[in-house]
Amino acid sequence: MEQILQEIQKSPIVAFTILLLVILIVPPIFERLRLPGLVGLLTAGIFLGPDGLGVLNAESETMKLLSDIGKIYLMFVAGLEIDLEDFRRTKNRSLGFGIATFLIPLIFGMTVGRFFDFGWNASILIGSLLASHTLLGFPIITRLGVTSNQAVTVTIGATIFTDIAALLVLAICVSVSDGEFSIASVVMQLAILAIYSAVILFGFDWAGKEYFRRTGDEQSNQFLFVLLAVFLASVGAQIVNVDRIVGAFLAGLAVNDVVGHSPVEEKVEFVGSTLFIPFFFINMGLLIDLAGFISSLTSELLLTLGIVGALISSKFLAAFTAKLLYGYNWNETLTMWSLSLPQVAATLAAALVGKNAGIITDSVFNTIIVLMLVTAILGPVLTEKFGRNLKVPQANLQKNPQKHEVETENVDLNLDNDNFIYQNLFKVIVPIYNPNTARYLIEMGALLAHHEKGIIVPLSIPKAHVYMDEPELKVSIKRSKLLLQQAITISEEFQAQAQPLIRIDDDLARGISRAAREQNADLIVMGWSPNSSLQARLFGNIIDNVFWSAHCPVAVMRLLDEPINIHRILVPVRSITPQILRVIQFAQLFADTNEAAVTLLQVCPRKTTDQEIALFESELSSLLNQSKSRQEVLIQTIRQDDVAKVIINQASSYDMLILRSFRRRTAGGLAVSDVTSKVLSSVSCSLVLFGEPNSG
């Protein structure tokens, strides 16, 4: 048996297969238990490591390589996920809170270290481990729709300062540990680090923008460029004698502006969250000495309680300082506290560096693991509790928020074009590429266009060829003309003016987005095939890329009946946000065309009080009163923890269900489940997935 285990440990393929199996199975199990998936990966590492089955070895070349890549990728994603626009808008307050939430935990951590007789170098490093934070609760804030709250954006912006400062302290502590410390050497190290940081932040940003501009839509090459940037920055960090995770984080900030909210960013984070980052957490579990870990909770209990208590109290004190300085209310203050609690990405990576450098002991490292487990669970729970009470700037229900900007752009134009008279009309683009869904989609577009006194633009996109006289292209164009003629006939049935359009393009999604922008469209109505898989319907290339690149809202529909027969519409509403209000606006627009009834469904936790429900319904009603819709909107509230189950049950009594389309990612990269996917796979009525441009 021992010989078999040795052979397994030596085989990279066997180790890689085991890792994939763990990543596939373990996180969903722990998420069902309402525990973070990364806790499951750490647990799996302990179970498969030397204190468990012994099938994986942290010292093997395979695990070292995969873990190093995962650690680098984790810090890169941490830099990539920081919203630089939000940071620029609140940079002064972000810097203020960043200094507070860095210095106060640093002082508390140093005090704890000195109290337990650690040296100054180790105590400073312990303090720096408490000073950073990981935005583990950010997906919850996104789901609640309160990312525009200033307290949230300030906390996100503060992450830039805390992470860079903590990693800088780590670099100095490592140089001190290596015996290379002196005032001159520190000044020289800081100067080299400043030059290196400038090269990464400005050089990579410039190079990335140039490369992306020259390569256009070549996403595969752009993806490779991003990967090269992160690992090149990591190698450069080693050359200037700082840890690789510093370079990875700076690379994330550098390419942040370049990739933006684009399919390339989605692919970069997808690869990291699916493979490399989970490898790092599993390896962390392999490194945990189970006996020492238990000892930390027994003989080293005071040290554990001291570090955990110092982190929780110091982060609260920092948030309270921001409350006093900037006048935030208690919900905002406590949300800032909960968001800055989790110690995962930078903390774990830095702790591992400190342990390998011999600066901190195994007992401190095991205590940091306990800290990670406690804060990874406590932070998101508190974020859910306090974040749902945050207020966001009220959104108006103006019909076409993007329209005025576009009209201003065109005010001085004097185009000799017969179609220019349609420039300022409400326009609905309806791509026709599936005959099975074309008629109902055209009917829907025609109803909306007629109601708004606008036009419908049936769009057909023949696939481009290298030579424009290819026989296949001629056949495609002929087929497009037939489809468009049918669309015109259907539009006339509903008294809607049609402006058919043929666009030759080498990519269907790009053709739709470009045509919509050229036509100054207000809405894109698309369909999916009822025979395609759920994954293809949600994340297939066409729909996914149109959602990413379109300049206007996109409504993806599965219509099981003629739109004129749809009279009962259900819209789930979790919180009042500008995005969900525009979904309601779309529902009201369709209801007006068809004299349909709209019901807004709020599914709230069982513990929600009557006062909280009444307040929510009152605020929603006051916003609905601003609408010019002629149809009455009903508000229904149900207390239930299983949101998807309630929506599925209620939808059986309606003709159409309208959902907002959005995707969520965690700061650590681990995917979380989405209620929308469960609902789409189960409901039997017509469906609309409504998304706005760049609504990732």
What pLDDT digit, counting tens, does each position of 632-677 carry?
788 898 888 788 888 888 988 999 999 887 544 443 333 334 566 6
Average pLDDT over residues 487-510: 86
Residue 289's SS3 state is: coil
Lowest pLDDT segment from 105-114, 291-300, 388-397: 388-397
Alpha carbons 516 and 459: distance in angstroms, whole number = 9
Between the alpha carbon of residue 447 and those of residues 437, 492, 575, 599, 655, the distances in Å are 16, 11, 29, 20, 17
- How far the first Cα of the chain sits from its last, in Å, is 49
Domain 394-560, second-level architecture: 3-Layer(aba) Sandwich (3.40)
Record the tokens describing residue 254, joined without a space: 């550098």
> Pairing mode, if any, of strands 554-558 and 686-691?
antiparallel
Place of tokens 């001291």: 306
Domain ranges within the chain, ordered by starting residue: 70-387, 394-560, 566-696
Common-topology check for domains 394-560 and 566-696: yes
Judge contact between 587 and 658, C-beta under 8 A: yes
pLDDT for residue 31: 72
pLDDT for residue 345: 61
Judge contact between 168 and 373, C-beta under 8 A: no
Record the tokens describing residue 324, joined without a space: 């006093």
What pLDDT digit, counting tens, does each position of 202-245 carry?
888 888 888 877 776 667 777 888 888 888 888 888 787 766 77
For the entire predicted model, the pTM comes to: 0.56
Judge contact between 146 and 387, C-beta under 8 A: yes
Alpha carbons 30 and 37: distance in angstroms, whole number = 6
Residue closest to 426 by CA, chosen among 329, 308, 520: 520
Judge contact between 589 and 444, C-beta under 8 A: no
- Which residues, at least 6 apart from 514, have a Cβ–Cβ distance to it below 8 Å? 503, 505
SS (H, E, C) 382-407: HHHHHHCCCCCCCCCCCCCCCHHHHH
User: How confident is residue 406, by pLDDT bands cut at 50, 70 and 90?
Assistant: very low
Q: Which 8-state DSSP code applies to residue 634? A: E
pLDDT for residue 401: 40
Considering the four listed CATH numbers 1.10.8.50, 3.30.2400.10, 1.20.1530.20, 3.40.630.30, the one that applies to the domain covering 70-387 is: 1.20.1530.20
Record the tokens describing residue 685, joined without a space: 């009525």
What's the topology of domain 566-696?
Rossmann fold (3.40.50)
Q: Which 8-state DSSP code applies to residue 494? A: T
C-alpha 407 chain-centroid distance: 32
Length of the chain: 696
Helix (H) or strand (E) holding 659: strand 656-660
DSSP alpha helices (H): ranges in 452-540? 471-493, 508-518, 534-539
